[in-house]
Amino acid sequence: MNDDLKIIKKKYGEEMSHFARDNFPVILEQSGLLPKIFEDSFHESHYLYHDLLKNNKLLDFKRFIYSSLDSSRCLNLNSDLTPEELLDKAGYILKECLTESDIQEYKKYYAPNEELCTFKGNRLDKCRVFFAVKKDVDSIKRINFPKPKRDDLYGTSVMSIQFTSDGTNTLSIKNRYNHRVNNPDATLSNNLDNIIPGLTKSFENHKGIKQNIINETNFEIPGYVKANDGKFYKYNREINNIYYCPDNIIIDNFNVLKYDKSRYLLIDHLIIDLSLKKIVIYDNTLQESIHNLFDNIEKISILSNDDTKIITIINKDNKEMDISIDKFNNIKNIKLINCFNIQDNFLKTSAFIESCSLPNTITIGNNFLRSNYMLHNIYAPTLEIIQDDFLALNGLLKDLNLPSLKEVGNNFLKTNEVLDFINVSSLEIIKDNFLRDNKNLRKLSLPNIKYTGKYMLDSNRFVKITQTERSK
């Protein structure tokens, strides 16, 4: 492996190194150049390739890397090489078709009903026609691509590069899938330099065919923010224009703040100070209460297990909090022991918690996990009172068993549509918007109810709330 590829593998992962090897062969000939472009533009992350793939951004990324080359490098890159030599470097064999029989030689590479219109004849009357064929084309089988994408490996394994002969030299790069994909005559956005940099200029210099290239500088990736240092950073949450990132990084007003991993641990939007044994809320406008619930911390322990960590925090009042975080340092599971009364705004902005255990809790204040959408399991056998906006934005909780619950405030699971089982048989008081958007609950037993507010189960199709129940 090339030394530059080793650097990319170490900082951006093995799959990114493979992608770099296949897509930037000429840049790799200039020692140190490609890693520098990566490092200048992207905070090191082994998840970059996967995020690009997931968001269909690999081609945009390729264009961005090429556009990051300075103009002098672009002008000098491959300046003396012919199109045939350049495409050889890119793994293709290029041939210009001078006769109709030359064109027909390439029909064999196309699956039935995917042949180009070029093979119907007379194309040379209006175009200069080239074919670029991958050297390993015989190993790239159509059967292995059941869901064709225009610029995938099969689609670009045989390309017909055609220039109009009307004086404009309008370029069309025609796809091997032909009309099985959208816009097949604009493969790789009809940009020769997306095959290999310098190819546009090479066709101009050696074939007399002048083309223009537009650099792709408006590059974006969903879930990434570009900071003032010019680098893209993956982030977990954006709250009040503050970006909370993996790797102990916060980006505030596009300034990068890196917290020492030997002392601090950033989880969600919380900073755990391992030295002073305290939980810090970076943005004090959030008015979170977790640091108040867990003050006077006596012990913090961290257990690592593959891509997850379990953090155990115990304070001097014998309260215990067990937090499970994922590889991006998002809180996924939380357990509170001996926390009898939970104050307002407990983790109200945490979005990704999936499971919550409250074995001893009796009361919960306003805005408990208010912004959470992902919770699908909660255990709270002793819970009696819940104030306003409990899990107000949750969308995934399907089962809820709170046998001791006596009173709930406004907006209890207000936007949850999928809950289909609930046990709240001890409930006496229900305020406004109780399960207002729920559609699936089929049964609700309230033998002890004394009061219900407005819009209870307002969207539900199955549970009928009697006037007697509403007026209690």
Which pLDDT belongs to residue 79? 59
Q: What is the pLDDT along the chain (472 residues), one digit of tens a residue?
A: 689 999 999 999 999 999 998 888 778 878 899 999 999 999 999 999 999 999 999 988 988 888 777 543 444 555 589 999 999 999 999 999 999 999 999 999 999 999 999 999 999 998 999 999 999 999 999 999 999 999 999 999 999 999 988 777 878 899 999 989 987 888 998 889 889 988 988 999 999 998 544 444 578 899 999 998 989 999 999 998 899 999 999 999 899 999 999 999 999 999 999 999 999 999 988 888 898 889 899 999 999 988 899 999 999 999 999 999 999 999 999 999 999 999 999 999 998 999 999 999 999 999 999 999 999 999 999 999 999 999 999 989 999 999 999 999 999 999 999 999 999 999 999 999 999 999 989 999 999 999 999 999 999 988 876 544 444 4
Question: How many helices (H) does the chain have, and how many strands (E)?
Answer: 11, 27
Instruction: Return the SS3 of 21.
Output: helix
Residues 415, 391: contact at Cβ < 8 Å? no
Is residue 212 exposed (0-12), middle (13-18) or buried (19+ Cβ within 10 Å)? exposed
Which pLDDT belongs to residue 217? 55
- List the domain boundaries for the chain: 3-76, 83-207, 340-471
Give the C-alpha distances (Å, rounded to integers) separating 210 from 48, 169, 202. 35, 7, 9
Residue 274 has which token pair? 């391992």
DSSP 42: B
Count of beta carbons in the 10 Å neighbourhood of residue 370? 20
Residue 317 backbone phi and psi in degrees, to 5: -90, 10
Which pLDDT belongs to residue 446? 93
Instruction: Return the SS3 of 55.
Output: coil
Which pLDDT belongs to residue 5? 95
Who's near 291: CB < 8 A, 6+ residues apart?
270, 278, 279, 280, 281
Q: Whole-angstrom Cα distance, residue 400 to residue 422?
A: 5
Q: How are strands ordered across the β-sheet holding 278-281?
A: 264-267, 270-273, 278-281
